[in-house]
Amino acid sequence: MTDSYRQNIFFPNDFNKTAYDALLIKANDVAQKISAQVAGGNYPFLSAALKDDGTLDAARKFSGKFSDVVVLGTGGSSLGGKTCCAIADSKINVHFLANVDPDGFDRALKRLDPETTGVIAISKSGNTAETLCQLHAIVEWLGHNNLKEKLLVITEAGDNVMRKIAGQLGVAILDHNPKIGGRYSVLSIVGMLPAAIAGLDIAKIRAGAADILNRASTADSAAAIGAAVSITLNKHHKINQTVLMPYADALKTFAEWYKQLWAESVGKNGLGTTPIDALGTVDQHSQLQLYLDGPRDKFYTLILPDHAEEGARISPLKNASDDRLAYLYGRTMGDLIAAEGKATLQSLKNKDLPVRCIEIGKLNEHTLGALFMHFMLETMIGAELLGINAFDQPAVEEGKILTKKYLQELHNAA
């Protein structure tokens, strides 16, 4: 059990408790239905938490000989794996290239050696323009040598561009489960393969996720409460932003993963709230003034890992000390970040702002898995409370069509 996973909600004085109580009943009902779906073999992106799917074998087979692995892919194809790798202390360096900025792309490759670098290209649909463009550039960079050893493709079955090209190149293809949408794919091979390559114990990530999933059907699970609070604040308190502020560098990417998950799932039909990522302590020096004294339009979630006794202990330097640092002497760097997280929480509470803190214990595979599952469930429940389909993203198709049109015009002009 993830006994260390604790969610505390602090409601503002004028909180609409009646509306919340009604939404919580619905939220619990949705959580029950999700549990039933999982038990019935549906929602494979959640039940991926419950089983081994050979990811570890695939990772061992592919990555043994490399010093570096580059993951090509964007959105859901990169954020989950990247989030996992951020907590790893890896022998193999895993790099995530998500953009088609030629400058950024070239700089990243300049630091790598094509002789000792493996490449994984991930696109669910197999038709993502950015990833296909990257794939072409990196095959040229690899010099077409040993592609069968160096390149691995993850895409869904069927007739798509990436699968066809991978077939023509003769490189290995792993199947992207067509029932797992990109932003919900972290616990599948899409997120777990990079995690395993980076040396993480993916069984522990999945166990942490399973713990939370198993609790989803209990009354008032943390995910159901979180969704009900969030949507109550949106519907009845003009809160249209939701800030996720972990106090850990390694969770900065987690907040980006969450941003995609929440934004694409609930941002439809004029509804939804805007997810905002922040990082403690850094954003105390950037965003906290606005949070405390600006408009009251945000719901705050602090993620507070247990940093007690971690890191360097601060003592007076040789021949250099100052009484004004008495508060710091004898404490560790971890004590300081923990005290700052607690102070920010109290400052938000003192302003009567809606805030919750999620205490996770030590940040590791298990607690990261728990966070993934918590926020996937909360997002699915939140979308249901808004009456939104959590699994599509219809609005972005136009841009893809326009991109092709503009490139065609360049072609015609050439």
Q: Any idea which residues carry the catalytic annotation?
A: 264, 285, 400
Candidates 37-45, 104-112, 192-200, 205-213: pick the segment binding a copy of itself (CB under 8 A): 104-112
List of residues 6+ apart from 31 with CB closer than 8 A: 216, 217, 221, 223, 224, 377, 381
Query: Interface residues for a copy of itself in 9-38 (CB under 8 A)?
Result: none
List of residues 6+ apart from 255 with CB closer than 8 A: 244, 245, 246, 277, 278, 279
Shortest Cβ 140–a copy of itself spacing (Å): 7
Give residue 110's identity as a one-letter amino acid code: K
Query: Interface residues for a copy of itself in 58-97 (CB under 8 A)?
Result: 74-76, 79, 89
* 8 Å CB contact between 27 and 385: yes
343 counts as binding a copy of itself under rule CB under 8 A: yes
What is the token pair recorded at 394? 């219809």
Q: Binding string, 127-166, against a copy of itself, x = CB under 8 A?
A: x-xx-xxx-xx-xx---x----------------x--xx-
Query: Interface residues for a copy of itself in 282-301 (CB under 8 A)?
Result: 282, 284-298
Instruction: Choose, by CB under 8 A, the member of 344, 353, 360, 366 that binds a copy of itself.
Output: 344
Q: Return the number of the residue (47 or 241) whose C-beta is nearest a copy of itself.
A: 241
- The DSSP H or E segment spanning 152 is strand 151-155
Instruction: Choose, by CB under 8 A, the member of 192, 228, 231, 276 that binds a copy of itself.
Output: 276
Query: Interface residues for a copy of itself in 170-229 (CB under 8 A)?
Result: 182
- Map residue 13 onto helix, strand or coil: coil
389 counts as binding a copy of itself under rule CB under 8 A: no
Q: Return the number of the residue (212 or 280) whose C-beta is nearest a copy of itself.
A: 280
Distance in angstroms (rounded) separating the CA atoms of residues 178 and 194:
19
Instruction: Choose, by CB under 8 A, the member of 47, 332, 359, 391 that binds a copy of itself.
Output: 332
Give Dmax over CA atoms of the chain in angstroms.
Answer: 72
Instruction: Choose, by CB under 8 A, the member of 32, 214, 281, 389 that binds a copy of itself.
Output: 281
Give residue 1's identity as a one-letter amino acid code: M
Distance in angstroms (rounded) separating the CA atoms of residues 406 and 151:
30
The CA R_g of the chain, rounded to the nearest whole Å, is 23
* Cα separations in angstroms, 271 against 87, 268, 375: 34, 5, 19
Shortest Cβ 116–a copy of itself spacing (Å): 18
Query: Interface residues for a copy of itself in 220-259 (CB under 8 A)?
Result: 240-241, 247-250, 256, 259
Q: Binding string, 115-134, against a copy of itself, x = CB under 8 A?
A: ------------x-xx-xxx
Distance in angstroms (rounded) separating the CA atoms of residues 176 and 26:
33
